[in-house]
Amino acid sequence: MTRILVINGSYRDRGITDQIITTMTEELESAGAEIQTILLRNYPIEFCCNCRECCQQPGELPGRCIRNDAMGELIKTIEQSDGFILASPTNFGTVTALFKRFLERLMVYGYWPWEMNAPKLRKANAAKKKALLVSSCAAPGFFGRWLYGTRKQLKTTAQMIGATPVGTLFTGLVGKEPDQQLSAKQEAKARSLVKKLL
Ligand SMILES: Cc1cc2nc3c(=O)[nH]c(=O)nc-3n(C[C@H](O)[C@H](O)[C@H](O)COP(=O)(O)O)c2cc1C
Protein backbone atom coordinates (compact mmCIF):
# COMPACT_ATOMS: atom_id res chain seq x y z
CA MET A 1 0.00 0.00 0.00
CA THR A 2 1.32 3.46 -0.94
CA ARG A 3 1.81 5.65 2.13
CA ILE A 4 1.25 9.34 1.43
CA LEU A 5 2.15 12.04 3.94
CA VAL A 6 0.36 15.39 3.64
CA ILE A 7 1.95 18.48 5.18
CA ASN A 8 -0.57 21.34 5.35
CA GLY A 9 0.81 24.80 6.21
CA SER A 10 -2.48 26.74 6.08
CA TYR A 11 -3.71 28.71 9.12
CA ARG A 12 -7.42 28.31 8.36
CA ASP A 13 -9.95 25.54 8.94
CA ARG A 14 -11.84 24.70 5.73
CA GLY A 15 -9.99 27.33 3.68
CA ILE A 16 -8.86 26.70 0.12
CA THR A 17 -5.83 24.62 1.16
CA ASP A 18 -7.97 22.40 3.42
CA GLN A 19 -10.53 21.95 0.63
CA ILE A 20 -7.85 20.96 -1.88
CA ILE A 21 -6.27 18.54 0.59
CA THR A 22 -9.65 16.97 1.40
CA THR A 23 -10.34 16.48 -2.31
CA MET A 24 -6.92 14.99 -2.95
CA THR A 25 -6.95 12.66 0.05
CA GLU A 26 -10.47 11.39 -0.78
CA GLU A 27 -9.24 10.49 -4.24
CA LEU A 28 -6.07 8.84 -2.95
CA GLU A 29 -7.96 6.84 -0.32
CA SER A 30 -10.42 5.57 -2.90
CA ALA A 31 -7.41 4.42 -4.94
CA GLY A 32 -6.22 2.42 -1.91
CA ALA A 33 -3.46 4.70 -0.58
CA GLU A 34 -2.82 5.15 3.14
CA ILE A 35 -2.88 8.83 4.15
CA GLN A 36 -1.44 10.65 7.12
CA THR A 37 -2.10 14.38 7.36
CA ILE A 38 -0.05 16.78 9.46
CA LEU A 39 -1.83 20.08 10.10
CA LEU A 40 1.11 22.26 11.01
CA ARG A 41 -1.20 24.76 12.79
CA ASN A 42 -1.95 22.07 15.40
CA TYR A 43 1.40 20.33 15.39
CA PRO A 44 3.75 21.19 18.28
CA ILE A 45 7.13 21.95 16.73
CA GLU A 46 9.57 24.64 17.78
CA PHE A 47 11.76 26.89 15.64
CA CYS A 48 15.16 25.74 14.41
CA CYS A 49 17.83 27.47 16.52
CA ASN A 50 20.55 27.38 13.81
CA CYS A 51 22.95 25.46 16.08
CA ARG A 52 23.77 23.03 13.20
CA GLU A 53 24.27 20.22 15.68
CA CYS A 54 22.04 17.98 13.49
CA CYS A 55 24.35 18.62 10.49
CA GLN A 56 27.56 17.33 12.05
CA GLN A 57 26.95 13.55 11.84
CA PRO A 58 27.77 12.03 8.40
CA GLY A 59 25.53 9.58 6.57
CA GLU A 60 22.24 9.33 4.70
CA LEU A 61 20.03 9.19 7.79
CA PRO A 62 18.63 12.45 9.22
CA GLY A 63 20.88 13.98 11.90
CA ARG A 64 19.88 14.30 15.56
CA CYS A 65 18.18 17.58 16.51
CA ILE A 66 18.75 19.02 20.00
CA ARG A 67 15.05 19.93 20.23
CA ASN A 68 12.96 17.35 22.03
CA ASP A 69 9.58 17.92 20.37
CA ALA A 70 7.18 16.33 17.90
CA MET A 71 9.53 16.93 14.94
CA GLY A 72 11.38 13.70 15.82
CA GLU A 73 8.19 11.70 15.27
CA LEU A 74 7.46 13.62 12.06
CA ILE A 75 10.92 12.81 10.66
CA LYS A 76 10.26 9.10 11.33
CA THR A 77 6.94 9.40 9.44
CA ILE A 78 8.68 11.18 6.55
CA GLU A 79 11.21 8.34 6.36
CA GLN A 80 8.42 5.73 6.24
CA SER A 81 6.35 7.54 3.58
CA ASP A 82 6.39 6.74 -0.13
CA GLY A 83 5.11 10.10 -1.36
CA PHE A 84 4.15 13.59 -0.20
CA ILE A 85 1.70 16.43 -0.69
CA LEU A 86 3.39 19.66 0.40
CA ALA A 87 0.87 22.49 0.77
CA SER A 88 1.02 26.12 1.83
CA PRO A 89 -0.93 29.27 0.96
CA THR A 90 1.14 32.13 -0.49
CA ASN A 91 1.65 34.89 2.07
CA PHE A 92 3.74 37.92 1.12
CA GLY A 93 5.05 36.07 -1.92
CA THR A 94 6.15 32.85 -0.26
CA VAL A 95 5.08 29.97 2.00
CA THR A 96 3.44 30.77 5.36
CA ALA A 97 5.64 31.27 8.43
CA LEU A 98 4.11 28.04 9.72
CA PHE A 99 5.41 26.11 6.71
CA LYS A 100 8.79 27.88 6.78
CA ARG A 101 9.27 26.86 10.42
CA PHE A 102 8.74 23.22 9.34
CA LEU A 103 11.15 23.63 6.40
CA GLU A 104 13.92 25.02 8.62
CA ARG A 105 13.59 21.99 10.90
CA LEU A 106 14.39 19.81 7.86
CA MET A 107 18.01 20.86 8.27
CA VAL A 108 18.48 17.39 9.80
CA TYR A 109 18.60 16.29 6.14
CA GLY A 110 21.74 18.37 5.56
CA TYR A 111 25.34 17.31 6.25
CA TRP A 112 27.22 20.52 7.02
CA PRO A 113 30.33 20.32 9.18
CA TRP A 114 31.61 23.73 10.30
CA GLU A 115 34.50 23.84 7.83
CA MET A 116 32.22 23.33 4.79
CA ASN A 117 30.83 26.42 3.00
CA ALA A 118 27.49 24.86 2.09
CA PRO A 119 25.52 21.78 3.14
CA LYS A 120 25.34 18.52 1.22
CA LEU A 121 21.89 16.99 1.03
CA ARG A 122 21.86 13.60 2.74
CA LYS A 123 19.19 12.31 0.34
CA ALA A 124 20.92 13.56 -2.85
CA ASN A 125 21.74 10.02 -4.02
CA ALA A 126 18.80 8.19 -2.47
CA ALA A 127 16.04 6.65 -4.61
CA LYS A 128 13.60 9.46 -5.24
CA LYS A 129 10.10 9.55 -3.75
CA LYS A 130 7.32 11.63 -5.36
CA ALA A 131 5.84 14.93 -4.20
CA LEU A 132 2.95 17.17 -5.25
CA LEU A 133 3.33 20.89 -4.55
CA VAL A 134 0.13 22.77 -3.64
CA SER A 135 -0.45 26.47 -3.11
CA SER A 136 -3.07 29.20 -3.48
CA CYS A 137 -3.03 32.97 -3.78
CA ALA A 138 -5.26 36.00 -4.32
CA ALA A 139 -3.48 36.76 -7.60
CA PRO A 140 -4.20 34.68 -10.72
CA GLY A 141 -2.72 31.18 -10.43
CA PHE A 142 -0.30 31.77 -13.31
CA PHE A 143 1.33 34.69 -11.44
CA GLY A 144 1.42 32.71 -8.25
CA ARG A 145 3.20 29.85 -9.89
CA TRP A 146 5.88 31.85 -11.72
CA LEU A 147 6.32 35.15 -9.88
CA TYR A 148 6.21 34.15 -6.24
CA GLY A 149 8.78 32.25 -4.20
CA THR A 150 6.26 29.68 -2.92
CA ARG A 151 6.94 27.07 -5.59
CA LYS A 152 10.68 27.32 -4.98
CA GLN A 153 10.27 26.83 -1.22
CA LEU A 154 7.95 23.85 -1.70
CA LYS A 155 10.45 22.41 -4.18
CA THR A 156 13.30 22.86 -1.69
CA THR A 157 11.19 21.05 0.92
CA ALA A 158 10.74 18.11 -1.47
CA GLN A 159 14.47 18.08 -2.25
CA MET A 160 15.44 18.00 1.44
CA ILE A 161 13.33 14.91 2.14
CA GLY A 162 14.50 13.08 -1.00
CA ALA A 163 11.45 13.65 -3.21
CA THR A 164 11.00 14.85 -6.80
CA PRO A 165 8.06 17.12 -7.62
CA VAL A 166 5.76 15.33 -10.08
CA GLY A 167 3.07 18.03 -10.20
CA THR A 168 2.14 21.50 -8.98
CA LEU A 169 -1.33 22.88 -8.24
CA PHE A 170 -1.50 26.66 -7.88
CA THR A 171 -5.06 27.83 -7.25
CA GLY A 172 -5.41 31.53 -7.97
CA LEU A 173 -8.03 34.24 -7.36
CA VAL A 174 -8.96 32.80 -3.97
CA GLY A 175 -9.25 36.08 -2.04
CA LYS A 176 -12.74 37.10 -3.14
CA GLU A 177 -14.84 35.97 -0.15
CA PRO A 178 -14.11 34.66 3.36
CA ASP A 179 -15.53 31.19 2.75
CA GLN A 180 -14.68 30.78 -0.92
CA GLN A 181 -15.36 27.28 -2.25
CA LEU A 182 -13.36 25.40 -4.85
CA SER A 183 -14.96 25.48 -8.30
CA ALA A 184 -15.88 22.18 -9.98
CA LYS A 185 -12.95 22.73 -12.37
CA GLN A 186 -10.45 23.28 -9.54
CA GLU A 187 -11.74 20.21 -7.73
CA ALA A 188 -11.42 18.10 -10.89
CA LYS A 189 -7.84 19.32 -11.35
CA ALA A 190 -6.97 18.32 -7.78
CA ARG A 191 -8.51 14.85 -8.26
CA SER A 192 -6.67 14.25 -11.50
CA LEU A 193 -3.26 15.45 -10.23
CA VAL A 194 -3.03 12.95 -7.37
CA LYS A 195 -2.83 10.06 -9.85
CA LYS A 196 0.79 11.14 -10.41
CA LEU A 197 1.59 10.08 -6.84
CA LEU A 198 0.44 6.49 -7.30
C1 LIG B 1 -0.85 37.81 5.51
C2 LIG B 1 -1.31 37.49 4.12
C3 LIG B 1 -0.44 37.66 3.06
C4 LIG B 1 -0.85 37.34 1.76
N5 LIG B 1 0.04 37.54 0.73
C6 LIG B 1 -0.35 37.27 -0.53
C7 LIG B 1 0.52 37.53 -1.63
O8 LIG B 1 1.66 37.96 -1.47
N9 LIG B 1 0.06 37.28 -2.88
C10 LIG B 1 -1.20 36.78 -3.13
O11 LIG B 1 -1.55 36.59 -4.29
N12 LIG B 1 -2.04 36.48 -2.10
C13 LIG B 1 -1.65 36.72 -0.81
N14 LIG B 1 -2.50 36.45 0.24
C15 LIG B 1 -3.76 35.69 0.01
C16 LIG B 1 -3.56 34.22 0.41
O17 LIG B 1 -2.65 33.60 -0.48
C18 LIG B 1 -4.89 33.45 0.42
O19 LIG B 1 -5.71 34.05 1.40
C20 LIG B 1 -4.61 32.00 0.76
O21 LIG B 1 -4.04 31.37 -0.37
C22 LIG B 1 -5.85 31.25 1.13
O23 LIG B 1 -5.46 29.99 1.63
P24 LIG B 1 -6.33 29.35 2.83
O25 LIG B 1 -7.75 29.43 2.36
O26 LIG B 1 -5.83 27.96 2.99
O27 LIG B 1 -6.12 30.21 4.03
C28 LIG B 1 -2.13 36.80 1.53
C29 LIG B 1 -3.00 36.63 2.63
C30 LIG B 1 -2.62 36.99 3.89
C31 LIG B 1 -3.60 36.84 5.03
10 lines ligand 1 (CB under 6 A): yes
The answer, as to whether pTM is greater than 0.85, is yes
Mean pLDDT of 148-152: 97
Which atom in ligand 1 lies closest to the alpha carbon of residue 90?
17
Between the CA of 94 and the centroid of ligand 1 the distance, in Å, is 9
DSSP codes of every residue in 108-144: GGEE--TT-SSPEETTTTSPPEEEEEEEE-SS-HHHH
Using the atom order of ligand 1, give the atom closest to the CA of residue 175. 19
Q: What is the pLDDT of residue 41?
A: 98
pLDDT at 101: 98
User: 84-123: per-residue pLDDT in tens?
Assistant: 999 999 999 999 999 999 999 999 999 999 999 999 999 9
User: Looking at residue 16, which CATH number applies to its domain?
Assistant: 3.40.50.360
State residue 129's pLDDT score.
97
Q: In 3-state terms, what secondary structure has residue 176?
A: coil
CA 136 vs. chain centroid, Å, equals 13
Structure confidence at residue 85 (pLDDT)? 98
Residue 36 CA to residue 8 CA, distance in Å, equals: 11
User: pLDDT digit string (tens) for 23-42?
Assistant: 999 999 999 999 999 999 99
Averaged confidence pLDDT in the chain: 97
* Dihedral angle sign, alpha carbons of residues 98, 119, 36, 138: positive
pLDDT category, 184, cuts 50, 70, 90?
A: very high
Q: Is the minimum distance from the CB of 72 to ligand 1 under 6 angstroms?
A: no
Ligand 1: centre distance to CA 78 (Å): 27
Q: Domain of residue 188: give its range.
A: 3-197
- pLDDT-based confidence at residue 83 (cuts at 50, 70, 90): very high
Half-sphere exposure for 196 (CA within 13 Å, toward CB): 17
* Number of domains present in the structure of the chain: 1
**Ligand 1 pocket, 178 CB below 6 A?**
no
